[in-house]
A and B are shown apart, each in its own frame.
Chain A
Amino acid sequence: MFNQHFGQYLLNHQKITAKQLIEVMDYERSVRVKLGVLAINAGLMTGAQVETVHQLQRLKDKRFGELSVEQGYLTYAQLEDLLQNQHSRHLGLSQVIIDKEYLTLEQLEAALISYKQDSRPSGEQLQTMDVMDLGQTDFTAAGSQGKVYHDYMGLLQRNIIRFLDANPVIGKNELVGHTVSPWLIQQKITGEINLFTGLAMDDATLLAIARQYSGEPLTEINELAKDSATEFLNMVNGIFCVNASNQGVELDLQLQEIAPNQMPMFKNGYRIPINLSFGKMHLILSVGE
């Protein structure tokens, strides 16, 4: 998500043009992020220091990391950490912007600092995100797909905390089976991997989720209430797609559906109970069917 958001930020703040953004987004996947950009992003070196090392490289036949340590800009431990992150794609966009000379290193440094200041979550949010665990869930039986289940569950949990309830309690996952739910919201994510996502709940929980998410004084299950609960799942799935896109996995969202007395559209996968202060719902999730 970082690339998209940072790109958007640069466009919104007139640092680059829409044409330049299109161009860098086209290139960012294939680019190898260099140590200078990684060091600026980590706050370990300034744009000016990176420029100095670049100048030294023209005079001496030495690597960027070696010269940075020699100059006292980085320790070996910091260099090691940066090298481990060199394959991360999240700074690809910044690297292309530098390669194409749309911004100087110092301008990039300033943009990264102001972007991070503007988009920093509150201390409270960060604390909540740091202490999360996924309760009794165990996806080891899902084999290589276990990580997808785990990542999705973690994302859903963070957004429940952000929008619905500060203390969700995640129960033990069980197989989906053929349970009919009073209300079932479903949405498919398609592409390099396929995910069937669903939230199952009773009337009271649907209404409570709709009220919490929308902030509207809803008292009955009407179109607005159904759309509000549905939009919550759509928002979570949208973020999942953006996160995947940032890892190089392109996904697409299909239209979401909500219906009463419904069975999930898939038979495999998991049903995970989530206890909220105002009711209980189940996440129904199937990967790759």
Chain B
Amino acid sequence: MEEKKIKILICDDSSLIRKQLKDLLINMDCEVIEAADGLEVVGIFKEVQPDVVFMDIVMPKADGLEALKHIRAYDQEAKVIMLSSVGTSTKLVQALKNGAMDFIQKPYTTEQISKVITDIRKLALA
């Protein structure tokens, strides 16, 4: 039986991050949807119900921590990985308190992303 593809939502205002992360995730056989700001991502999340969200923090309209709060309020089980250049103590603690599953400091490595996907696949099989 064919394995169901993992559905990933990438939210970043940088088209570079969206493109490169999307290319990487497609190579890992994932289905990818994109959002460009912290407001758009909440609507798209409700619509597509992704398995995991990669979320930037500093973004226009609403920042990633705010978006994370809205998403977790809508779905307590939502898996959101913060992917940001601002990995300060304050942001890290705030993200974890808001329910982030993990925090990856940019620039990310292929290994970091690959580990997330492996973990999500394991959770899906459990």
Where the two chains meet, the residues of A that have a C-beta atom closer than 8 Å to any C-beta of B are 1, 3-5, 7-8, 11-12, 18, 21-22, 25-26, 28-29, 214, 216, 223-224, 227-228, 230-231, 234-235, 237-239, 241-242, 244-246, 250-255
Contacts and interface: CB of A to CB of B under 8 A. Distances in A.
A238 B92 contact: no
Contact of B89 (A3, A227, A238, A255): A3
B49 interface: no
B60 interface: yes
20 contacts: A4-B89, A4-B92, A8-B103, A12-B115, A18-B96, A18-B101, A25-B93, A224-B19, A227-B14, A231-B14, A234-B58, A235-B106, A235-B107, A239-B85, A241-B88, A242-B88, A242-B105, A250-B90, A252-B88, A255-B60
A242 B96 CA distance: 17
Contact of A26 (B16, B59, B93, B106): B93
A239 B85 CA distance: 7
Contacts of A237: 85
A227 B13 CA distance: 9
Contacts of B105: 4-5, 8, 238, 242
A233 to B, nearest CB: 10
B110 interface: no
Contact of B86 (A21, A25, A29, A241): A241
Contact of A242 (B87, B93, B97): B87
Given A12-B115, A235-B85, A238-B106, A224 B96 contact: no
B27 to A, nearest CB: 15
Given A12-B102, A254-B58, A238 B96 contact: no
B76 interface: no
B85 A230 contact: no
B63 to A, nearest CB: 9
Contacts of B89: 3-4, 25, 28-29, 245-246, 250
Contacts of B13: 255
B15 interface: yes
B97 A22 contact: yes
A4 B115 contact: no
B35 to A, nearest CB: 15
Contact of A223 (B15, B86, B87, B97): B15
A8 B100 CA distance: 13
A252 B60 contact: no
Contacts of A238: 84-87, 105-106
Contacts of B60: 255
Contacts of A253: 58, 85-86
